[in-house]
Amino acid sequence: MSRYLLDKFLYTVDRDPELVERYREDPAGTVAWWEAEMANRILNCVDAERSTWLSFTEDERRALREHDHVALFQMGAHPFLTLTLFIAMFERDHGPLEYQKAYGRAMQHISLPYPDIAT
């Protein structure tokens, strides 16, 4: 499991409006494409600079495909990254602050100590 890779996915998708829409409409396809094309790309470098060893676990893929922010948090994904991305994807389907409140309610069963989110 790689908290870094989960956070990298959330960060890079959230910063590209086209990827946000793609992930909203086709999460499985977006996760598969991103893992194949972007996971090993080194950010802010020329495209030729790449790593070769990063990949999601099957549990990570499932949580990303299912937009499961609770599972992602329990795996160590940073909650700010999931919240900002998921607001961009789903807030439009809800009234003011309804999505944010539902996001929090879904995680209220999680108690201290919270999962480690350091990368």
State which residues form the domain around 25: 3-105
The pLDDT value recorded for residue 105 is 94
Instruction: Confirm whether 91 is domain-assigned.
Output: yes
Number of domains the chain contains? 1
pTM (whole model) above 0.85:
yes
Is residue 116 included in any domain, yes or no? no
pLDDT class of 1 with cuts at 50, 70, 90: low
Phi and psi of 114, rounded to 5°?
A: -70, 160
* Structural contact between residues 86 and 9, judged by C-beta atoms closer than 8 angstroms: no
* Residues with Cβ within 8 Å of residue 46, at least 6 apart in sequence: none
Residue 110 maps to a domain: no
List, for residues 62-107, the tens digit of each pLDDT value: 999 999 999 999 999 999 999 999 999 999 999 889 989 999 999 9
Each residue's pLDDT tens digit, 28-62: 999 999 999 988 887 666 677 667 778 999 999 99
The alpha carbon dihedral of 24, 57, 115, 110 has a sign of: positive
Residue 118 falls inside a structural domain = no
